[in-house]
Chain A
Amino acid sequence: MIVAPVIVAPVIAQADEPFVRWDWVGRNLDNLWAATQEHIVLTGIAIGIGLIISMGLSIVALRWRKTYTPITWVTGLLYAIPSLALFALLVPITGLTLLTAEIGLVSYTLLILIRNIVAGIDGVPEPIIEAARGMGYTERKLFTDIQLPLAMPVIIAGVRIATVTTIGLITITALIGQGGLGFFILRGLQFYSAIGTTQILAGTVLSVVLAVTADLLLLGLERLLTPWARRRAVM
């Protein structure tokens, strides 16, 4: 089922009604919390699977340089498909399922993640690589022990962008019934009253708060994973 065209609700409510119906918020705290959790899970799955696929494709691109252009070309194409259209195309095949939502969400993370992983690894200074090889690192150990940790700031920068983008995108997956907080935005659009406005605002505010929180947490993770970057010479 494709949802019928949505008419944007006029935000101006009736004069005797308050702009935000706090009573609705009070009554729906449980639902809001459940939707937030759903949103987090959807994001987590998308970024997790996105990272696994991106890491695999990045390793391929780094090992066989010629594959990098086609890989970015294909993931770039995926990134360019309008999200609404992508879900519409997938629904006949995979239905109104979590799978449909995640296929879309994951596809949108790939380009950003692959670009950042490859750029991060490429950015590791050549003398460090040469020294590591010269001391007897195997290629695999070089990757896990030297290149990956040193690329971490750039990779995490990519994960941050992908995460924030995904959190925003999930509000659209509400259209196929896998919406997290998008559910409230979508439903709010169908009310011509303060109840509607309240729901749109609740979904939007929580989604933004989630994005900002995730971004900050990832920034904290980066700091945690790169302790050397903060300790510079004081001379």
Chain B
Amino acid sequence: MITLTDVTKTFAGTVHPAVERLSLDIAEGEVVVLVGPSGCGKTTTLKMINRLIEPTDGRIMVAGKDVLNMPAFELRRSIGYVIQQIGLFPHKTIRDNIATVPHLLGWEKTKTAARVDELVDLVELSPDMLGRYPGELSGGQRQRVGVARALAADPPVLLMDEPFGAVDPIVRANLQVEMLRLQERVHKTIVLVTHDIDEAIRLGDRVAILSEGGHVEQYDSPGEILRDPANEFVADFLGSDRGIKRLSLIPISDIELDPGPVLSRSATVAEAEAMMSKYGIDWAIIGIGSRIEGWFESKDLAGQPDLRNVPTRKHRDRISPQASLKEALDVVVSSHTSVAAVFDEDRYLGIATIDQISREIVQ
């Protein structure tokens, strides 16, 4: 969808190119994140795609067309653009802000109005915001308007320059989740720039890690980059906790769960003790198959002939199979039982132990 070939940008009055012979292939419908330290040329690269910065050398193709072969304004109308400070027009209502590109393209009023309504729904804004001015909205709402505005003319390509930079961390996390949900519906080809490696890992189908001068140090899926950093630079940039970062990409359902120390009510105390020593723990679960009652500790067995009357406790630290191994790890280290009990709704699936999780880190 987007192809950069040997793209170079040397700014006037400088000797070293900001971006030097950068080549990158971006497939249709994928989210590619350009990430790197400041000065690595990631924003310059992004802005060359819609020619806010003109490349000094090289070729950029978008949807099979050379971007230099058409007027810049025409190119830009076919590419969605979201920037960090969002850049909403303060003197235009939200409705007019969203309708910016349709206005520029000369769409009919009814078509534009219908599209605005559709977009408001898509980015989950309340329709009564349409008559307001940007100054009356919160940061998160403004960001949604910015995305709606970028999507207005349904461009196949979306460029996002630190799109979540201007909002606080909690709002940012929500917006990131929303963006992924949105992308499942709209399937745009998205190029996103960030300096935040965690954001890159969370959002990117593929991540390009750039070093100074726009050199691509590694371009791969987040999982692959975390599993096997191409070089020292990438490893350093990922940070010492890249093993844990990788866990956030793996859902619990990807690993084989241990059935756990499950006993039926009819089991004897001896069987229960055997089960606990097999696992090297002092607790066990009462239930049959995926239907369990709860767990008990070995001291609960005192004076009991069998398990018939042993009191049980509910699992408070249950986790769903869609959760990541990182979340499972968090449950493991903070729960009494040192395991994460995995439940799909009320169905017990098994337990995730620290051994299983660390095996994934090592892999």
Interface residues of A (CB under 8 A from B): 125, 127-128, 130-138, 141, 146, 149-150, 226-228, 231-235
Contact = CB atoms under 8 A, between A and B. Distances in A.
A136 B135 contact: no
Interface string B88-128: 11111000000011001000000000000000000000000
B83 A127 contact: yes
Interface of chain A: mostly helix, strand, loop or mixed? helix
A226 B91 CA distance: 7
A138 B71 CA distance: 10
A136 B78 CA distance: 8
Contact of A231 (B100, B133, B149): B133
B81 A131 contact: yes
B50 interface: yes
A232 B133 CA distance: 8
Contacts of B86: 127, 131
Interface residues of B, number: 31
Contact of A135 (B77, B133, B137): B77
A136 B159 CA distance: 13
B87 interface: yes
Contacts of A228: 90-92, 133-135
Contacts of A231: 132-133, 135-136
Which 10 pairs from chain A and chain B are nearest by CB?
Answer: A131-B87, A136-B77, A127-B85, A134-B81, A136-B76, A127-B87, A228-B133, A136-B73, A228-B91, A149-B91
Contact of A134 (B50, B90, B133, B134): B50
B89 A134 contact: no
A17 B101 CA distance: 74
9 contacts: A127-B86, A131-B81, A136-B73, A136-B76, A150-B89, A150-B90, A228-B90, A233-B135, A234-B136
Nearest to B85: A127
Interface of B: 50, 52, 73-77, 81, 83-92, 100-101, 104, 132-138, 149-150, 159
A138 B87 CA distance: 17
A233 B101 contact: no
Contact of A235 (B75, B88, B89, B138): B138
B154 to A, nearest CB: 14
B149 A134 contact: no
A134 B138 contact: no
Nearest to B132: A231
Contacts of A150: 89-91
Nearest to B80: A135
B87 A128 contact: yes
Contacts of B92: 228
B108 to A, nearest CB: 18
B294 to A, nearest CB: 46
B90 A233 contact: no
A233 B137 contact: yes
Contacts of B136: 231-234
A150 B101 CA distance: 19
A29 B360 CA distance: 97
Nearest to B103: A145
Contacts of B138: 233, 235
A131 B83 contact: yes
Nearest to A128: B87
A230 to B, nearest CB: 9
A135 B100 contact: yes
A131 B83 CA distance: 7
Contacts of B87: 125, 127-128, 130-132, 134
A235 B132 CA distance: 14
A165 to B, nearest CB: 28
B165 to A, nearest CB: 11
Given A131-B88, A228-B91, A137 B83 contact: no
Contacts of B100: 135
B73 A134 contact: no
A132 B149 CA distance: 11
Contacts of A136: 73-77, 101, 104
Given A231-B132, A233-B136, A133 B76 contact: yes
Contacts of A131: 81, 83, 86-89
A141 B52 CA distance: 16
B162 to A, nearest CB: 11
Contacts of B75: 136
A135 B149 contact: yes
Which of A133, A137, A227, A235 is the most central at the interface, judged by chain B CB atoms within 10 Å of its CB?
Answer: A133
A233 B129 CA distance: 12
Given A128-B89, A150-B90, A134 B137 contact: no
